Amino acid sequence: MYHQLSKVTGRLVAASHLQSPLFPVAPIALQRVEPPTIQYNTSHLSTVAEACPAPGKRSLVPGTNVPYPPVSEKIRQQQQQFQKEDDVPVFLKGGPLDGILYRLTMALCIAGLLGVGHTIYIHAVPKK
């Protein structure tokens, strides 16, 4: 038994007449629709310079009339410290505590690798 879409209800019903087995539902031609045009709304796109204005200059949050909150002097000093070109990796620019944490992390990684190697050795070499 073949089925087709009812033109009245839009539901699947038994076919009232014999149809070809390859096409149980009559094909419906697609309607041509023009694709929508892309609109680039540049008012919501901003650059880093616009998002972080100069100290005396205040800009608005995109899409609102609310100005950005002022950035504290401590944060400005940290930005200058981390953006300074002094050939020091960024993970060490925080001072001596960053160096200690980096070395501790490297020591724990090496200890973990040694533990993995030891476990593989224990399971690979049988006891005598």
Predicted model pTM? 0.44
Residue extents of the structural domains in the chain:
89-128
Q: Tell me how far apart the alpha carbons of residues 113 and 123 are, in angstroms, rounded to a whole number.
A: 15
Of 93, 92, 74, the C-alpha closest to 83 is: 93
Predicted confidence (pLDDT) per residue in 51-101, tens digit: 555 555 667 878 788 888 888 999 999 888 888 888 888 888 888 999 999
Of 58, 32, 62, the C-alpha closest to 46 is: 62
**What ranges make up the beta strands (E) of the chain?**
3-5, 12-14
